[in-house]
Structure 1
Amino acid sequence: MMLIIKRPYSILLAIAILLFLAGIIFFDKYLDIYLNDAYYIVSLHHIAWASSFLLIFCWMLYLLTHNLLFSKTLNWIHILLTASCSVIILVFSYFLSESTESSVTLSSVYNAKGYLNHYRLQETLKKVILITTAILVLGQLTYLMNILMGLAKGKKRQYHPS
């Protein structure tokens, strides 16, 4: 517990390892993405691994710049936004791939109401993923603000993790 308080960025490494292992073990599904006239099929393995590499990259940035950062509060905001959004994107991508797999059954072809509900569920999941991705991208600005303010003030952090 003391390690997390001294070095909160270690949360990023722990979640990155969990996401990487989850990508290997659990996610053998595919996500279908329609963008304009293009159709993409992405494996959930790749989404899990991309999330884990993003978290490892952020962890390495914190290792290199922890004594230049301005505020611990901005550290926590960035870390929690990055870690939680990465997990949320992966979980909702899994639910979306599950709903895509079972999208058309014989009963839903003849039941327009069931098909409409299924379509609404997919659209809602896509919106949640899109909004969470936007929050993840905007959350990276907190790190940028933190390091720029730290460099502008010339303030050295009082704690140095050993």
Structure 2
Amino acid sequence: MSAQEILASVGSFSAHDLLLFEEKTCRKIFKKNDLLLRQGEVCQSVYFILSGSFFQFQSDGIVETIIDLHLPEEWMYNHPSLIDQKPSDTTIKAFEDAEVIELSLYQLHELIARSQSFLHLSKIFDQTNHRTYLFDNALSPAQKYDYIKKAKPFIVQVFPVKMIASYLKIAPETLSRVRANY
């Protein structure tokens, strides 16, 4: 996937901007179960998923509560940790072998300093809207499932019911009934 394809969802960039982006980013490979961010670390980068998938969760040592599910061709990071530069209360883990493009906060600031076009990257920080919609509205389990199918149509092909149910904050049995009626 080219820089132009990666950046297409946030704005239009000149050939020079695309070269700058390629210069300031790096590709990383993660194997299944590798940690991208540990609970307690400060998130210093945003990642564009080229292939594979990730899940973000909170753990009390016994139960893992899914906070987000990440698929190819989306930006991923821990929002509160990155924005406030505070320790993350979640872990981001590779669900399967994956490849990402990493853009550190430092490199992002350098890009913006060199070209105002990179201010368009601020759009990637609006992704919390999905979670806000899901949990700030009194949606039924069927409405939650319908919304997530529209927002992330491939989620059901990648993640097991138990993980999707945890993400939607509904019982796995409830999600199975909703899916059976879909």
What is the TM-score of this pair, normalised by structure 1?
0.30
Q: Which has the higher helix share?
A: 1
What is the TM-score of this pair, normalised by structure 2?
0.28
